[in-house]
Amino acid sequence: MRAMVLERSGAPLSFVERPDPRPTDGEVRVRVAACGVCRTDLHVVDGELPNPKLPLIPGHEIVGRIDMVGERVAALGIGRRVGVPWLGQTCGRCRFCRNGQENLCDRPLFTGYTRDGGYATHVIADARYVFPLPERGDDVATAPLLCAGLIGWRSLQIAGDGKKLGLYGFGAAAHIIAQVARWQGREIFAFTRTGDNAGQAFAKKLGACWTGSSDDTPPEPLDCAIIYAPVGALVPAALRAVRKGGRVVCAGIHMSDIPSFPYEILWHERELKSVANLTRQDGEDFFTIVPKVGIKTETTAYPLRRANEALADLRAGRLHGAAVLVP
Ligand SMILES: [Zn+2]
Ligand SMILES: [Zn+2]
């Protein structure tokens, strides 16, 4: 197999060739057709998340076909088109797993963080955490759904059903969730970095009724807001933008420190919540609505060997939509 490998935090990924991995009991091997580049990959590569597996193959937005099956895998056969998400494995026994909150499992494994991921030609996955995908479909266009779409979906659910929805940071997740929210009949208020006219035009194209920069006040109070950008200063900005009883959801795994803010912008029963990981149920729900919404993703494909360039473009905010690696 060929892969892009992180040897130590902060170092560029290096291209390596290794013997093909073999699935053990309960595992499948997926021949990767496309793997999206998620902001979480940046946090992993930059050492902002603790204790990654090292050396590590990053990547957790994987689309491909099963090409080898281990013992005791009944449900999935060779040739099946599947997606491999961030949630790689859970313990099934902790209080969270037993309570329908496997996203909060005490002993989880995460694809492309604590187990090898999809910046490669092949990946091994626990068969129970793999999502079957429709036989036909564009692999590159599907890859961003595996995290930007799924975590975006979970954050939208947690934001509640308010009509007026603010989205802070209009990247891979927001461009998918804007389409879902429009389909649900919501109004989208898109906030980008100051001066990001291209980002605001992109949001308008996807149906945003208003766009502005993140310190702008929207024309009317919002019911809820989701923060996708990893910028703590957006938390007080979003709290100021929502109405009494409104909710602000932080959708990222890592954020810069939140500056102190006056209590009055949280008062009146405003709520602030974070979203962590996903459950398999989120995946089932989300992939059921994907064809109904007719989600179209905007992607830029990079050859696997140019993964460092894709990460740099994401870091610099040069992308609209999502970067996807193709082996
Ligand atoms: Zn657990
Ligand atoms: Zn992700």
Q: Please report, in tens digits, the pLDDT of each residue of the chain (327 residues total).
A: 999 999 999 999 999 999 999 999 999 999 999 999 999 999 999 999 999 999 999 999 999 999 999 999 988 999 999 999 999 999 999 999 999 999 999 999 999 999 999 999 999 999 999 999 999 999 999 999 999 999 999 999 999 999 999 999 999 999 999 999 999 999 999 999 999 999 999 999 999 999 999 999 999 999 999 999 999 999 999 999 999 999 999 999 999 999 999 999 999 999 999 999 999 999 999 999 999 999 999 999 999 999 999 999 999 988 888 999 999
Cβ atoms of residues 175 and 182 within 8 Å = no
Q: How far is the CA of 219 from the centre of ligand 2 (A)?
A: 32
Question: How far does the centroid of ligand 1 lie from the alpha carbon of residue 107, in Å?
Answer: 6
Distance, CA 112 to ligand 1 centroid (Å)?
19
CA 263 – ligand 2 centroid, Å: 32
Say which DSSP state 119 is in. Answer: S
Contact between residue 190 and residue 211 where contact means Cβ atoms under 8 Å apart? yes
Q: What predicted TM-score, i.e. pTM, was given to this entire model?
A: 0.95
Contact between residue 281 and residue 275 where contact means Cβ atoms under 8 Å apart: no
Concatenate the DSSP letters of all residues of 164-180 into one string.
EEEEES-SHHHHHHHHH
120 has which bridge partners? 3
- Å from CA of 13 to ligand 2 middle: 18
Tell me which ligand sits closest to the C-alpha of residue 230.
Answer: 2
Q: What is the β-pairing status of strands 109-110 and 271-274? A: unpaired
Tokens representing 77 are 């056969």
Please report how many Cα atoms fall inside a 13 Å half-sphere around the Cα of residue 33, on the Cβ side: 21
Type of residue found at 182: R
Distance CA 35, CA 111 (A): 12
CA of 222 to the centre of ligand 2 (A): 26
Distance 11 CA to ligand 2 centre (A): 20
Distance 99 CA to ligand 1 centre (A): 9
CA-CA-CA-CA torsion for 97, 101, 107, 108, nearest 10 degrees? 120
